[in-house]
Structure 1
């Protein structure tokens, strides 16, 4: 799900740039906000899972992944 959201965010940013260059308003700009909220929710769930892991190696890898988002 996260990768689908990353792809959608990238597509929406490109679309936003295209409309900005044409000096037009992007239709339904709330889509970008919805994608951002969904990504934050996934990040929150991953952070909660990070707290539950006891293995320090897995914790470090998961923390690096979360920080890279």
Structure 2
């Protein structure tokens, strides 16, 4: 009885692992979030448009 229970659990575990592996593979064609982007829209780096010139003003909380 103990041996058959162990075999049953191991088969269920292997089936769960196989189902997880097979369902997690998604082809590139199904990933549509980047398919519509033109080549001119894709940038290799990110540009931060904020100005970094900031001076300390009265009332600012300073932490060290």
The TM-score, its normalising length taken from structure 2, stands at 0.38
Q: Which one has more relative contact order, counting CA pairs under 8 Å at least 6 apart?
A: 1
The TM-score, its normalising length taken from structure 1, stands at 0.35
